[in-house]
Structure formats: C-alpha cells, structure tokens
A and B are shown apart, each in its own frame.
Chain A
C-alpha cells in the first residue's frame, strides 16, 4: 500500500518532540536544571508551526485511505493547538518548578495531548477521531493530577477521568450505532449514505447522532453536561486549566464542526431544537453562576462554560453561516483565555494559587503590566471593542441574525451584558481596592510575561485588524469537503 506521509508531518513532529523530551529527561540528574526540556518543547512546537505554514501553501492531502485529512481546516486548528501548547509551556516554566511537579513529564504530556488534538481535527474517520480523542484525554487526565502534593488536584483528576470515561462511552456507542446504520466509519462514506438515502434512516442512526452530540457536549462542558467543569478547572494546576479551557475545547469543537456540523449536516433538523436549548442554557447558566464565585479561577471556569454557549450559536446556525464565526471565535477565545490564565499563573505564591478576587486587589499599582493585560483580557472576554472578543462575538451574533435566529442573537447579547458584571469585578479589584497578593515581577518569572505579551498582542490584533484572520477562517471552513 502506498502511504502518503506528508499530511502526518505536524502531528509526527510534535510526537517526536514529546519522545525526545521524555528521553532527554531520563539523562538529567535530580537537582539539575531541566530548563532545556522546555526549550526542546518550544523548538519542536515552532517547527511544527513552520510545517503547518508550509503545508498551508500546498494542496490538501489525505492519508490512509483519506481517513486522515490534513486540509486547511485541520491546519487552522493545528495552529490553535500549537499556540495553546506553546503559551501553556511558556507560562508553566516557573510554575512547574515552584510547585515541585515533574518538569519532563509535564511538557511531554502537553505535547502528547497536542498530538491527539491535531489527529482529532484532521480525523476523517470516526475511529481515527476516537484515537485522537483518547490520546488527548488520557494525557490531560494525568496533567490534571500532576500537582500530586495538592489534594484538590488529585480530586480533580479523578473527577475528570470518571466523567471523561463516561463521555467516551457515549461517543463510542454513538460511533457503533452509526457504523451499524451506515456500514462505515469513514465520514465521506457516511455522508454519501446520508445523501443517497434521504429519510430512510433507521432510528438508531439518529440515536447514534444524539449520542455523539452528548459526548461532545460533555467534552466542551455544555449544560446539562457541565457539572465536572468548575471542580476540575479549579483543582487542576493553573496552566493546565488554561490549556484545557482553550485547546481541549477547541479540539472538541473541531471534531464537532467536522463530524456533526459538516458531514452529518443532513441530520440537522433533528438536533437543531435541542441544541438551541443547550446553547441558551449554557450561556445563561454559565454567566449566572460565574457572578456568584469568589475565586477568579472558578469564575473563569464558569465563564468558559458560558463561552462554550456562545460557540454553540454558530453550530445551531448551521453549516451555511456558522463555519467562519465558529473558527474565528475559537481563535479569539484562545488568545484572551490563555492570557488570562497566564496572569493567573503568575499570581501563584509557593503552594498557594492566590486566585481569589481579594488576591488581585491593588495589582494595578503593584504590577501595572500584568494588571493592564488582565484588564484587557477581561474586557475582551466581556466583548468590548476594539478587542478580539468583541469582533468574535460580533460575527457570531451576525451569523445568528443572518440565518434567522434573531432570538439567539438577542439572548447572546443580553448574556454578554450579564458577563460584564463579573469580568468588571476583576478590574475593580485590581484598580480600586488595596491589599492582596504581590504577583511576580518580570525578573521572577520572565516567561509568563512573554506568554502574556503574546496573548495580549493577539487579542488586540484580532480586535483592530480582523480582516486577515477572518479570511483564514473562511477559507479553512471552506476547505471541508
């Protein structure tokens, strides 16, 4: 069999980096600096990004009988994953040392998870998708529990593992049912089957679709499958929380977009209404519960639920209008959320995560740059122009209006109004209150500052000059076939 290996390049690049990091780690004695491992990881990710850009120029190719398609869509998401992994590693360098986690394993697991995500985004076959999902999930389960001396972290890992296993069950059962109905796990063939035989679908095909939907809803943390999110996000080490709320969510949405939104779009009519309710419930509940939190980390967990709700709007809107806003919003969301978690990471003092509102009090005068960045991330998350979050929300709501879901747009806008209450509280604490934790100076944690600066640049750039990124998003979604 003639196998075209070119499309595998980015994933293999990250995988090899992960292996190199794991092996190199074995040859560093205890007590010696392991900084080189972070350096290897970042170089590997940089190379992978370069390959992605190189492949963007060429034509899109499939491997293994087209069960793995590295089209523009997959490349777009690969970039988001690589960005998220790189920023997570940058912001974790000081954090990992300080909390006494194993550095080698930490970086390697982030890289393994990234491999799984790239595979998920490129999967054109339900089995390949499942493979990617498990590679990602298992790595993230371990990452959640990496802070072994901390009880919350272990508890979070256990919860996440159990919930994740549950979701996996749903997904696998859904895949089985769809295979039973269509006779294939290849998305192209499933899609062809759906188009050939409209309306003669067996009940269990639709059931299978719904099981997939529930599995995805678990993974993105949509209401009513969101119960694990706050506890897991709060317990996990802060950089991992950022990674989970951006990369894992983006991976799940990538698969959701390719499989349910695009390939299984003939089934749309069956799940538009449930999804409509899920989207509204996710936004509203996420925002309402975020208001009542005392910890910023937990607030960000609920806010990430709410953002999953906004991201569901393009999926409800459907394949015609939803593609571009979904991709662009994910990109915008990645920058601002990673930035916010990087700032949160820099607040950690020894064993304490210092993530309460009261810990942020007076930060505006103690660490002007971190506070300014945090303020801009919060405003961007709340949807203020001219920042990335506003542009993203604008296109999401625009797509809702264009497709006739005016109610969804209005509820979404009202929700972002609601969200201002808790995002603003962070700013109030930073600039209008006093006391609180000290935060780290540039000298104490230079890499966090770099991560924050990168995220800040992205947030501002996407807000002021979104034209290029919009064009990439449009072409990325257009490349699905």
Chain B
C-alpha cells in the first residue's frame, strides 16, 4: 500500500475539516468522527500484519520534496520503535472518540480539534524529517491546549496555559537543538536518517558559543541536554512534571486518556529516536544520571505523591509519573531486556493508564466528584465496573499474567546487570505502587456501600465498549508479550548497538 502513513495522518485532518462543514447536529458529528478514526485503525492493523519484524530499517518510507532549497523534505516511515506507538495512537484515538460521546458543549469544535490532535500525534511518530517532526509536535500542542482550556474542569484555563508554556519551553529548546544538528551536517539536512549516519561528526563538533566554550562543554552534551529537556517535559520527568497533575485533573476524560496514553510517550520516543542514535557518546555519558537516576527518582517520587492524593484522577496522574520512570530506567540500562522492557512499558502504560482514566471518568460522570474518601463499597453497587477496575489496577501494579508485569520485570532484569542500586530503588516502587492502588481499592470499592450512591447506575454498554479492547490487550500481552516484543527487538538492538561501544567500563 503506497503512502499508507500519509493516509493515516491526514485522514483525521481531512475529517476535522469536514466536521466544520457538517450541520450542527451533535449526534451526526459524533458518529462521523467515530467513522473517521476507523480507516487509520484498519490501516494500523494492516501495518501490524505486514510489518517486517526482521529488519531494523525504516519501512513504508515516503519521501517527497517540500522546501527543496533548504533540504526540507516530507519524509515518513516507521521502524520497530515507532510502529508500536502508531498502533497505540490509532487504537486510543478510536476508543477516545467513543469516550467523548458525553461532550455537550460546542460538539463540532471538540471533535474537529480531537481529530487534529490525532493527526498531529500520528505525524510525530511517523515523521523522519526533523523539521516535519517539529511541525507535527507543535501542531499537536494547540488542539490539546484548546481541548483542556475549553472543555476542561473548573481550573481549566490555568491548567491549559501551564501545559502550553511548559511544552512550548521544551519545544523551543528542541528547535535550537534541531538547528544546531542541521548546521553541523554537510550538506545541511533535516533528514533524521542522515543525521543518525553523522553521529560521529556530532561527537567531535564544538559549540562556538559563550559561555559553553569557556566551560569546555562539547557540542553534543549541550545539544543532548537541550533535546532531553524538551522531551523530559513531555515524559514528564522530575522536576518538569508539575504540569501533568493539573492538566490531567482538568482535562475531560478522553483527553486525559490521550494525554497519558500517547503524549507522554512522545518524550521517551523522542529520546530513543534522536538522542540515542544521533548523539551516542553523549547518551553514554549522561544516561546514568539523566535517565537512570532520574527514572528511579521518578518511580519513587511519583508513587509517594500518588499515595498522598485525595482525588482519584490525580492519583492516576501521579501513577503515570511513576510508571514513566520505569521507561527511563530501562532506557538507561543499554541491555536488550532493559530497552525492550522500556518500550513495552510505553505501550503497556498507554493501555493500562488509558483504562484507568476511562474508569475514573465512569464514576465521575455519575457522582460528579472524584474524592477517594467520598465513595466506599462500590463493589456491591457496581460489580461489573469494579471487576474491570480490578483488572486495570492489578495490571498497573504489575501482577503476573497481565501486561504491566512483563515490562516492569524486563526493565528491572535489564537494569540489574548495570546498576543494582537503581534497580533496588526501582523495585521498591513496585511495592509502593501496590500500596497506593490496593489502598485505593479498599477505600473506594470495598467496605460497606455508601448510602448516597446506592442507586448509582452500573457501567453502560458504550463504556464497556471503550474498555474491553484495552482489557483484552492487557491480558494478551501479559500472557504472550511476543506480540509486541517481536516488532521491537530488531530495531532496539540496532539502536542499542550504536550506543554500547561508547559506554565506559
């Protein structure tokens, strides 16, 4: 299939434009958006079937001139790293359209922006030209800002602006780094594949700029840091994480799912896509502190914060901070298990946390609050709902047989070979996670039923429809992780092989 990635990216965008022309009928707009997200999903399934798992090369590559005078081209392609993210994006976009059916305010605007967001996310994961990557990165930021700022909760303006400024600060640093990378390659190009091939050139380049030249910092370390901060804000790594709880709490349910399920992955994806292969020497130097130690700190800090929350959604938000720490920790290990575990964790976190946010949305829609202490005994009132919640929570905890277990154990196995101390810290995060999740189950679902909510309606068909596909994936990946891991392995090994020669000791 020619240009399949372009279709996946631009069908939602075309859908967004068409929604603006539809009559102002909420039902029509909802179903139209749902239909628009079906072709990308089918194409994602097709990609999954036709993806060559034996090569680390980019596949389904499209290459067109865009601004030829400056060597800016429209280049799309996927490898093992991006394909898992493309699948996740297509699936979550489809599901979240259904999760958004409850939106009543300015329906046309909401779904048009949502589809724009979908296009931007898909583009980020498919772009192989750094300029194009940046454009998609920013294109995605705007709809997200509006979706939080217009359809969010009471403090939506504050949350939206905070999210926007944090991310923008990161992307500005990223833009500077991109320019620096661009100018160091001869002839100047934004093609990521060429930039990766020039990795040795970057490691010897010098940065002719005060004050870095007087501090004796080399080009690659400064650029590595600039890119890293840009991506770390998205992950979000401590201390850049403070936008996340605010954005999550204020965002509507479906947007929280996208935020946690896809946007956070862009940070770690970006680091693996650019920092690792383009600046391998700097990666080897910086990984321990900036990925490993920071990742371990993220795990523990996020878990401790989650434990202290009174708001159910904020708890899930902080658990995201904690779980993304495993991704960083695994990336820092430079072992096959660690790296595969990290990317698998990206995929799993997308599905598990997506479920958790959807589940929080279910109860919020009924009770109109998310106060953990304000419920109690929901298991007796809503048994089906409680069952699905238990599945999601146990997967998040890393219960064997569910997907979270596989990725966490792989990360810890991989890290143990290199950094035993960090591994012990990371593993203690598993205990903390079990602590806050079990405690939450106990407070919200067990015990005597709360008088106020005796008549609360059981989870309905539409909500089950959004949760079941994710639940099935959680179980399948938990039992047979090869479904995802087979796609990743070759690519990740080749990325790993670029960095390993530069490791010390």
Q: Is the CB of B135 within 8 A of A386?
A: yes
B175 located at the interface, meaning its Cβ lies under 8 Å from any Cβ of chain A in the complex: yes
A267 located at the interface, meaning its Cβ lies under 8 Å from any Cβ of chain B in the complex: no
Residues 387-443 of A at the B interface (beta carbon under 8 Å): 390, 397-398, 401-402, 404, 406-407, 409-410, 413-414, 416-417, 420-421, 424, 428, 431-432
Residues 161-198 of B at the A interface (beta carbon under 8 Å): 161, 164-165, 168-169, 172, 175-176, 179-180, 183
Chain B hits for A365, CB < 8 A: 106
Residue in contact with B138 in the complex, picked from A384, A398, A414, A432, CB distance below 8 Å: A384
Q: Is the CB of A413 within 8 A of B161?
A: no
Interface size class, chain B: 20 to 34
B68 located at the interface, meaning its Cβ lies under 8 Å from any Cβ of chain A in the complex: yes
Given contacts A398-B179, A428-B149, contact A414 B142 (CB under 8 A): no
Q: Is the CB of A466 within 8 A of B67?
A: yes
Q: Is the CB of B209 within 8 A of A406?
A: yes
Q: A352-385 CB contact bits vs B (8 Å, 1 = yes)?
A: 0000000000000100000000000001000011
Bound state CA distance, A414 and B183, in angstroms? 20
Q: Is the CB of B183 within 8 A of A401?
A: yes
Given contacts A379-B142, A386-B139, A470-B69, contact A432 B157 (CB under 8 A): yes
Q: Is the CB of A409 within 8 A of B179?
A: yes
Bound state CA distance, A402 and B169, in angstroms? 23
Q: Is the CB of B68 within 8 A of A397?
A: no
Q: B131-157 CB contact bits vs A (8 Å, 1 = yes)?
A: 000110011001000100110000011
A3 located at the interface, meaning its Cβ lies under 8 Å from any Cβ of chain B in the complex: no
Q: Is the CB of A432 within 8 A of B179?
A: no
Q: B104-148 CB contact bits vs A (8 Å, 1 = yes)?
A: 001000000000000000000000000000110011001000100
Chain A nearest CB from B133 CB (Å) reads 11
Residue in contact with A384 in the complex, picked from B142, B146, B150, B183, CB distance below 8 Å: B142
Q: A225-267 CB contact bits vs B (8 Å, 1 = yes)?
A: 0000000000000000000000000000000000000000000
Q: Is the CB of B176 within 8 A of A409?
A: yes
Bound state CA distance, A402 and B184, in angstroms? 11
B239 located at the interface, meaning its Cβ lies under 8 Å from any Cβ of chain A in the complex: no
Residue in contact with B175 in the complex, picked from A386, A413, A424, CB distance below 8 Å: A413
Residues 464-481 of A at the B interface (beta carbon under 8 Å): 466-467, 470-471, 474
Bound state CA distance, A416 and B169, in angstroms? 10
Residue of A nearest to B67 (CB): A467
Chain A hits for B23, CB < 8 A: none
Q: Is the CB of A432 within 8 A of B69?
A: no
Chain B nearest CB from A408 CB (Å) reads 11
B64 located at the interface, meaning its Cβ lies under 8 Å from any Cβ of chain A in the complex: no
Q: Is the CB of B172 within 8 A of A417?
A: yes
Chain A hits for B461, CB < 8 A: none
Chain A hits for B209, CB < 8 A: 406-407
Q: Is the CB of B150 within 8 A of A417?
A: no
Chain B hits for A467, CB < 8 A: 66-69
Chain A hits for B210, CB < 8 A: 407
Chain A hits for B139, CB < 8 A: 385-386
Chain A nearest CB from B322 CB (Å) reads 30
Bound state CA distance, A467 and B71, in angstroms? 11
Chain A hits for B501, CB < 8 A: none
Chain A nearest CB from B85 CB (Å) reads 21
Chain B hits for A409, CB < 8 A: 176, 179
Residue in contact with A428 in the complex, picked from B134, B138, B161, CB distance below 8 Å: B161
Chain B hits for A407, CB < 8 A: 209-210
Chain B hits for A431, CB < 8 A: 146, 149-150
Residue of B nearest to A421 (CB): B165
Interface size class, chain A: 20 to 34
Given contacts A397-B179, A401-B183, A466-B67, contact A385 B138 (CB under 8 A): yes
Q: Is the CB of A414 within 8 A of B172?
A: yes
Chain A hits for B156, CB < 8 A: 432
Q: Is the CB of B208 within 8 A of A406?
A: yes
Q: B356-368 CB contact bits vs A (8 Å, 1 = yes)?
A: 0000000000000
Q: Is the CB of B67 within 8 A of A470?
A: yes
Bound state CA distance, A416 and B138, in angstroms? 14
Chain A hits for B70, CB < 8 A: 470
Q: B261-281 CB contact bits vs A (8 Å, 1 = yes)?
A: 000000000000000000000
Bound state CA distance, A474 and B157, in angstroms? 43
Residue of B nearest to A433 (CB): B157
Given contacts A402-B183, A413-B172, A467-B67, contact A420 B165 (CB under 8 A): yes
Chain A hits for B164, CB < 8 A: 420, 424
Q: Is the CB of A417 within 8 A of B69?
A: no
Residue in contact with B69 in the complex, picked from A384, A406, A421, A471, CB distance below 8 Å: A471
Bound state CA distance, A431 and B160, in angstroms? 12
Residues 450-467 of A at the B interface (beta carbon under 8 Å): 466-467
Q: A112-127 CB contact bits vs B (8 Å, 1 = yes)?
A: 0000000000000000
Chain B hits for A401, CB < 8 A: 179-180, 183
Chain B nearest CB from A315 CB (Å) reads 20
Chain A hits for B138, CB < 8 A: 384-385, 390
Q: Is the CB of A385 within 8 A of B157?
A: no
Chain A nearest CB from B45 CB (Å) reads 30
Residue in contact with B169 in the complex, picked from A384, A417, A432, CB distance below 8 Å: A417
Residue of B nearest to A414 (CB): B172
Chain A nearest CB from B180 CB (Å) reads 8
Residue of A nearest to B137 (CB): A385
Chain A hits for B69, CB < 8 A: 467, 470-471, 474
Bound state CA distance, A23 and B183, in angstroms? 58
Residue in contact with B149 in the complex, picked from A379, A432, A471, CB distance below 8 Å: A432
Q: List 26 A-B contacts (CB under 8 A).
A: A365-B106, A379-B142, A385-B134, A385-B139, A386-B135, A390-B138, A397-B179, A401-B183, A404-B208, A407-B209, A407-B210, A413-B176, A414-B172, A417-B168, A417-B169, A417-B172, A420-B168, A421-B165, A424-B161, A431-B149, A432-B149, A467-B66, A467-B69, A470-B67, A471-B69, A474-B69
A-B CB proximity, top 8 nearest: A385-B135, A406-B209, A385-B138, A467-B67, A417-B172, A432-B149, A386-B135, A432-B157
A interface with B by C-beta (< 8 Å)? 365, 379, 384-386, 390, 397-398, 401-402, 404, 406-407, 409-410, 413-414, 416-417, 420-421, 424, 428, 431-432, 466-467, 470-471, 474
B interface with A by C-beta (< 8 Å)? 66-70, 106, 134-135, 138-139, 142, 146, 149-150, 156-157, 160-161, 164-165, 168-169, 172, 175-176, 179-180, 183, 208-210
**Contacts A420-B168, A432-B150 given; 10 further ones with Cβ under 8 A?**
A385-B134, A398-B179, A409-B179, A410-B176, A424-B161, A428-B157, A432-B156, A467-B68, A470-B70, A474-B69
